[in-house]
Amino acid sequence: MIVAEKKPIEEIAEEVKEFNKILITGCNECVTVCEAGGKKEVAVLASTLRMYFMNQGKDLTIDEITLERQCDHEYLEEIRNVIDQYDAVISLACGVGVQFTAEKYLRTPVFPGVNTCFMGVSEERGVWSERCQGCGQCMLGKTAGICPISRCAKRLLNGPCGGSTQGKCEISKDLDCAWQLIIDRLDELGRMGDYEEIIPIKDWSTERAGGPRKVVREDVKI
Amino acid sequence: MRLHYPSNIKIVKIPCTGKVDLIHLLRAMEKGADGVYVVGCLEGACQFISGNISARKRVEQAQEILESIGIGGERIQMYNLSSSEAPLFAQVATEMTEKIKEMGPNPIRLAMKKKAA
């Protein structure tokens, strides 16, 4: 899922201090799982902002709504009838949701309430780590399900560098060397033959480096 | 045991402090309470295993939030005691009341009063 982190309250308050009627929109998907922008976080942010502004003597209305997702038309349409009542929207969805809301409702300024970080997993409650960078050419089949693009600091494709020590990356002793993990896993699977195969130079054009991307499925378009 | 404790305290009974969520603590302050304290079972003795641990984490979150917006994080506290420790309950009630009296009224309540006037 997409992992995001709450923005500091001071930053959000600064963004919206000139408005009088604000709608905070949450998202029921990824940001709920990483406890940054779900229904509970929307309620907490609304309460916090109300108290913050009341303490400064400013009277304003803050309403709350949590949509199923903010990256699909049908869910964002749910606020079409009410959005014109508001001077501004704070969206706690990931960057995708904030942008889609802004694209749909051109007359209302939309502000982000979270910092979107990466695509990752929930390792345990409160700990999320990166697993995928959306390179567009998945090679996980060759590397025992461990991604060298997102988990190797140098994004190497054919084994560890000289900095790999005791299974840790040279940039931080808390970071596992992705290639050590790959080799260990291939060994356990009895597929060390995969390690011997040289992976050729990667075509980076499918990655973000090739420009903003789009996927079109002619077979499903109506 | 007919012990005395301050009368300005409103008790909200819950089955386990694990039921207290962050928003409950914040809403109480938003509506003008001068302070909130959560009294739960001794750590390790929670009937529902770790409800009181969750409550403590949420109390700490609430303290951080209130501190960051200038209301005062000390207004929210958590105490752990056994349900049979009545004198300690009375003592905690007094301690909390003294602490809040020292801190003064909730600025939100003052702002609400001003607005109504």
Q: pLDDT tens digits, residue range A28-41?
A: 999 999 999 999 99
- Residue among A43, A55, A59 whose CB faces B69 most closely: A55
In the sheet that holds A127-132, the strands lie side by side as: A2-6, A114-124, A127-132
Residues of B in contact with A54 (CB under 8 A): 107-108, 111-112
CA angle B95, B113, A17 (to 5 degrees): 100
Q: Nearest-CA neighbor of B97 among B33, B31, B1, B12?
A: B33
Q: Which two tokens stand for residue B76?
A: 């929210």
**pLDDT for A10:** 94
Q: B19 Cβ partners below 8 Å, 6+ apart? A: B51
Domains of chain A as residue ranges with CATH? 2-118 (3.40.50.2300), 135-201 (no CATH)
Residues A138-164: what's their mean pLDDT?
95
Percent of chain A with pLDDT over 70: 100
| Band (A116; pLDDT cuts 50, 70, 90) | very high
pLDDT exceeding 90 applies to what percent of chain A?
A: 96
Residue A58 contacts B, CB cutoff 8 Å: no
Q: What are the tokens at B83? A: 């349900």
Shortest distance between the Cα of A10 and any Cα of chain B, in A, equals: 8
pLDDT of residue A139: 93
Stretches where chain B sits below pLDDT 70 are none
Q: Searching chain B, which residue's CA lies closest to the CA of residue A12? A: B69
- Cα B53 versus chain centre, distance: 15
User: Within an 8 Å CB–CB cutoff, is residue B6 touching chain A?
Assistant: no
- Judge whether A197 is closer than 8 Å to chain B, CB to CB: no
What is the C-alpha separation between A38 and A27, in angstroms, rounded?
5
pLDDT of A8 above 90: yes
Say what the pLDDT of residue B83 is.
Answer: 86
pLDDT at A27 over 90: yes
Put simply, the answer to whether A10 touches B68 (Cβ < 8 Å) is yes
What is the rounded average pLDDT of the residues A62-70?
96
Q: Enumerate the residues of chain B whose CB falls inside 8 A of the CB of residue A8.
A: 68
- Look at residue A209 in the predicted model and tell me its pLDDT: 86
Whether A126 and chain B come into contact, CB under 8 Å, resolves to no
| φ, ψ for residue A166, nearest 5 deg | 50, 35
Sort residue A94 into left (φ over 0), alpha (ψ -120 to 50) or beta: beta
ipTM of predicted assembly, 2 dp: 0.92
Measured distance CA(A35)–CA(A191) in Å, rounded? 38
Exposure string over A18-29, b if 16+ CB within 10 A, otherwise e? ebeebbbbbbbb
**Residue A13 near residue B65, CB atoms below 8 Å:** no
Closest CB to A47 among B26, B107, B115: B26
Would you say residue A217 has pLDDT above 90?
yes
State whether B23 and A43 contact (CB < 8 Å).
yes
From chain A, pick out residues whose CB is under 8 angstroms from the CB of B73: none
pLDDT at B32: 92
Out of B27, B112, B114, closest to residue A47 by CB? B27
Q: What pLDDT score does B1 carry? A: 80
Residues A7 and A98: beta-carbon distance below 8 Å:
no
